[in-house]
Each structure stands twice: as structure tokens, then as C-alpha cells.
Structure 1
Amino acid sequence: MTKKHTIKDIAELAGVSKGTVDRVIHKRGKVSTKALEKVNAVLNEIDYKPNLLARSLKNTKEYHVCVILPDYKEDSFWLPCFEGIQEAINEFSAFGIFIEPFFFNTNSVQTFIDINKKVLELSPNAVLLTPLFYKETITIVNNYAASNIIVSKFNNQLETENTKNFVGQDLFKSGRIAASLMKIIVPKNSNIAIIHIDEDFKNAIHMQEKEKGFRDYFFDLANSNYQITTYSSKNADIENKLTYILNTSKNLAGIFVTTSKTYKVAEFTKGKDIKIIGYDLLDENIKYLKNNHINFLIHQNPKKQVFLGLTYLVEYLLFNKEIPAKSLLPIDIVNAENLETYLEN
């Protein structure tokens, strides 16, 4: 894909200011002959084509959109989300859209509260939010609404008023699909564990919905007697928890991990005949998927979630285009055989 160069990129390549590049591109104001030659040389080299629509919107109102998500430096699942934000910045900055990311710690509700308070004080036009903590999100969304700030959600399917849109997967169906896969690869009427890692289950709707879907599938099976047990663990204590599970759960045949920490389970159970299904194409998960220590991963496409959520907000702000209340992405099933097609994309 051809790189979309921003005015900042062109300025750095030409060794001039962004203002100089802007004056050259839009043919306004005075520019020295030397600077003009430098900028034009770069424009020719990158085959720059000005966006006519962006030009027509140049003097219209500027908009501020904030994205609130977990820190990708602490959990690599969120790195594609950050990449999606950067892609949106490159795509929409020429339209007068200022997109700004803010990060919180998934293990600290207080950081989630604090960062949303900071964003509220900035009075942006819109917020794209990861509603990781249910109770706190309700209050936060209402605060944004009281300040006439538009809110959309991604990743976590949280039903709440005063939001424009949700982009992500149907997490209940995601759980059912995981269960249908598990049924195929474990013996009939065997023992299965559901493991939630590193989040407060009572306040994490995404975990609850996945488990509900998983259990619902097996509940609907006629003449079956699968034994399903749920466990929760902090990441730091996962080895002790898994030791306990393996010692107390006789004939354990399968484990369903509801988060991207699937590799933690695969690492510990390596060499045992236990089937594992989890989430997300993290490098660590891919390693065990390739070795068949993880049997299936459900790809949630976080980068697309963020980019699509931002696109809806931008089109609403610029063109008053209606935003769909819900945008559900496909539930992609990845195994060792089709992994490369996802990595290529």
C-alpha cells in the first residue's frame, strides 16, 4: 500500500517548516525560491496528489476526537489499536480532525477514571472509548453526555445509553463459536475449564458475555454431560492457578481462555493432551498456534475496530452522516493452517 504522506512528513523530507509546505501546496503566501524548489522536489518524488475534498474543507471548523484505551506498552493486544489510531490520524488530519489517544492501566480502575476526567476537562467534540469497566463507564458516559460530547465504544459490547455507536464483535456469539469448536476437538462429555485472566470478572462484561455464550452452546446440546468449570486468575498467579486446576480437575480435556493471555495457558500445559481455544493474534499466541499447542484463536481485529469507530465519528462531524448504533465485525477463526493469510493482511 502506498504511504499517505502528511504535511509534517513532507516538511521533514524537504527540511522546511510545515507552514512552508502548506503555502506551497495551497499556493498562498510568500515562499523563497530555495524552499519552493525543495518542497516541489519532494512532492515530485513521492508523487503527491492533493486531496481536493480536504482543500475545500480547509477553512472549516476543526474537530478534536479523543480515543481512550488501555496502554499497549503494558498489554500488546492493544498495539494494533494504536496503529489504527495512527492510520486514522494520517487519513483525516487534512480535514481539520485532531485525533488524540489517552491510555489507562487495565489493572487499575482509578487510571480509567482519572484519564476520562482529564479528557472531559479538554471538552473534545467526540470520544471513542474502550468501556472496560462496566460500573465506572456508566457514570463516565453520562458525564460526557451532560457536556454534549459524543461518545462511541469499541471492543467491549456494553449496553448503555448516551452513546452513538459500538464497533466490535458479538461476544456472546463469539463464546458459542468457541464452544462449537471445543466440542469438535475434545472427547464427548469431557471436562472443560473456562479461564478468565487478569481482569475483575464481575466488572468485565466482555468476559461475562463470552462465558455465557460458551455455556449456552453446551446447554443446548441434547444428551450431553460436559463438565464446565470457571476459574479466574491474576496474570502474576496464573501458574499457581493452573497447577491447582490440573491437580483437581480429573480428565481435563479442554481450556477456553476468554482473553488474549491464551499463551500463558499454552506455555504451562505444553506436552499435555489438553485442547486450548483463546483470543487474538499476539506474537506469543501465534508461536503456540503454529506448534498446535493452541488449537484455535478467535481474531477480534482490534485495529479495524478503532479505525472504523473513528471513521464513523469523523464522517458524522464533517458531513453529519448518520452513525449506525452497532457495527459487528466478523468472528474470524484462525488455526495453524490459515494463520498466514491473516498475517499477510
Structure 2
Amino acid sequence: MKKHTIKDIAEIAGVSKGTVDRVIHKRGKVSAKALEKVNAVLNEIDYKPNLLARSLKNTKEYHICVIMPDYKEDSFWLPCFEGIQEAIGEFSAFGIFIEPFFFNTNEVKTFIDVNKKVLELSPNAVLLTPLFYKETIEIVNNYATSNIIVSKFNNQLETENTQNFVGQDLFKSGRIAASLMEIIIPKNSNIAIIHIDEDFNNAIHMQQKEKGFRSYFFELPNSSYQITTYGSKNADLKNKIKYILNISRNLKGIFVTTSKTYRVAEFTKEENIKIIGYDLLDENIRYLKENRINFLIHQNPKKQVFLGLTYLVEHLLFGKEIPAKSLLPIDIINAENLDSYLE
């Protein structure tokens, strides 16, 4: 459906733009004849005034940069890019220029380089994924020195000089994964935690998920579950899975801390092993439907980005305070409720 502007409505009704503006916002005097013409057009096109536009009191332009992993290399990030596109469509008419920048999750140098590029652009605000802990600390401090507002999404990094985090409580999501695992595997089985592709020592999101998972089992009374952590590059995962299966005869459950859960399911097809992981990627959905993946934790990446951008936009336009933390629900998906989460 076409979004009609005030200019469009004025031309159709045969009145001035000022007249249309006064009718829509109910301010100033308008003749009865002009009022009738404008209302007829508004009713015909089912016009709904944008509340954000109604409140807008300045014409200053603002630049927001979004820094995130390249969705062409990892499909988990595609919904984030879609969230950016949705925000551009929502806010560009109000003087908000939103510009995405991408880095490679396997190459920390690309993260450093893209942030240097953004810093040189001197935007009003930055929304970033702080995937690399050590590098992010310095980068955020550089933005603060230049009076650039910084918000974070997806990865909860506790650091000064940032305004907001939008995402999930990753420690709790790990505990939820553990509670599900306890239900679906035999008592006191062996469990593997698998981190895929990223440097665990510099990846806070993996650390928090594992800490939450282990804390749940640690607090269980009279339990002797054996939990072992493994890291693997995606390219080496087949051999790593083979190795894990050989050394752990009583392995009954695998917790994957990233969206590449489908890769583990792919290499354990012949085994009676329960798998819990993250995110509604097409490949994960296929294995979930086949009951090769038992549960997925949905992180809602599209909503994370859109909400993070909305907070920045409302702050820049209206001076609205940005909340320090916005935690999204931790949704548990299985084959039975999957359809309700698919658009």
C-alpha cells in the first residue's frame, strides 16, 4: 500500500500543504469546504498519521552506524540486516540516516578496521555487536572520546561508555538449556558443550552460556553428570564429533552454544544423542522437524536490532532516555510450537 505524503493529499484535495497539515494535526483555522475536501481524501486512502512525525519538532539530520557480522557469511545475522532495513524504512523520513557495516566473525582485524572507518565518519550514534571482548573495550572508549553514543546488541558485554544492551540474559539461557537437557537425557549421563568457530577466551556470549549451563547441573543435588567442553572450527567439526563419540561412550546430550547447531546434528545422525542449540536458521529448523535437534533457543535477532535502533532514534529526536538494558524473552522452540514462530 502506498504511503501518501502531505503533498500527495494536498494535490488530490486541491488545497495547500499547509491546509492538509492543519487538518491532520488539528491546529489552526481551516474553512469548512477545505476541511471536507481533505477529510474525504483521508477517508478514501485510509490515512493514519505517523505519531513519530507528529511529534517531530526539528529538521536536523542524524547518522547512526550499525556494526555487525556479515550476514552473507553467517545466515544467523540475516534477520539483523532485515531489522536494519525495516528501521531505515521507518525512520528515514525523519532525518535519520542508518548505515550498516560488516565484519568477519573469524577475523578480528576486520572488526577493528570497520570500527576505525566508522569512527572517522563521526556518526551521532553506533549500534554494534561486541563480539570480541578485548578489542571492543578500546573501540568503545574511542567512540566515547569522540562523543559518539554507543549501544550494543546480541552480546552482553559489561563495559563503561555504552548506553544500552538489547538481547537476552545469556547466563539464564544457558541454565534453561541445562534444565531442558536434564529432562530429556538419562540421569548422570555424559554431556558435551560444543563451541563452534569463535575464540572462546574472547567470546563473552559463549562463556556466559556455558557458565549458566554448568551452574544448573552444579546445583543439582546428588548428581554426577560429566560435562566436557570442546571447541572446534566449522571446517574441522566432523573430525571433532567423531573424536568426541569415540572417547565418550555414555554421551547422551550435546549443548551447542551457537547457531551452527545443525552441523552437530548432521554428524550425529546415527547416534541416540539429544541436541539443544540456538536460533531459527533454515538448517536448524529442518533438523528440529526431524527431531534430530530437540530444542532451539530463539534469540530474535531482528527484534534486537530494530529495538536498539528505535532507542537511539527516540533519544536523538526527542531526548528520550535510553534504558541501560533491554532483555528479550528466552523462547524455547521445539517441533510442536515451531510454526507459531515462523513468519
Change (3 A) 1:197 1:50: same
Change (3 A) 1:45 1:203: farther
| Aligned-residue offset at 1:5 | 4.3
- The residue aligned with 2:250 is 251
| Aligned-residue offset at 1:45 | 9.3
- Matches of 1:218 and 1:4, distance apart in 2: 55
- Report the residue type matching 2:179 in the other structure: S
- Report the residue type matching 1:164 in the other structure: Q
- The residue aligned with 1:145 is 144
Deviation by residue 1:205-244 (Cα, 9 ceiling, x = unmatched): 0000000000000000000000000000001110011111
- Matches of 1:232 and 1:183, distance apart in 2: 22
- The residue aligned with 2:271 is 272
| Aligned-residue offset at 1:250 | 1.4
- Report the residue type matching 2:293 in the other structure: I
| Aligned-residue offset at 1:67 | 0.4
- Report the residue type matching 2:189 in the other structure: S
After superposition, residues 1-345 of structure 1 pair within 5 angstroms as 5=3, 27=17, 49=48, 51=50, 53-54=52-53, 57=56, 59-344=58-343
Question: 5+ unaligned residues in a row in structure 2: which ranges?
Answer: 19-41
Report the TM-score, using the length of structure 2 for normalisation.
0.87
- Report the residue type matching 1:85 in the other structure: I
Identical columns (%)? 85
| Aligned-residue offset at 1:49 | 4.8
| Partner secondary structure for residue 97 of structure 2 | strand
| Partner secondary structure for residue 283 of structure 2 | helix
| Partner secondary structure for residue 267 of structure 2 | helix
Question: 5+ unaligned residues in a row in structure 1: which ranges?
Answer: 8-19, 29-42
CA RMSD in angstroms, aligned pairs only: 2.3
Deviation by residue 1:167-191 (Cα, 9 ceiling, x = unmatched): 0000000000000000000000000
| Partner secondary structure for residue 232 of structure 1 | strand
- Matches of 1:193 and 1:159, distance apart in 2: 28
| Partner secondary structure for residue 182 of structure 2 | helix
Change (3 A) 1:218 1:140: same
- Matches of 2:52 and 2:240, distance apart in 1: 56
- Matches of 1:52 and 1:79, distance apart in 2: 29
| Aligned-residue offset at 1:57 | 3.3
- Matches of 2:9 and 2:62, distance apart in 1: 19
Deviation by residue 1:90-141 (Cα, 9 ceiling, x = unmatched): 1111111111111101111000000000000000000000000000000000
| Aligned-residue offset at 1:78 | 0.3
Aligned length: 318
| Aligned-residue offset at 1:58 | 7.3
- Report the residue type matching 1:104 in the other structure: F
Change (3 A) 1:255 1:122: same
Report the TM-score, using the length of structure 1 for normalisation.
0.87
Contact persistence 1:174–1:331 (CA under 8 A): yes
**Which 4+ residue blocks in structure 1 deviate beyond 6 angstroms?**
20-26, 43-46
Contact persistence 1:6–1:90 (CA under 8 A): no
- Matches of 1:196 and 1:210, distance apart in 2: 10
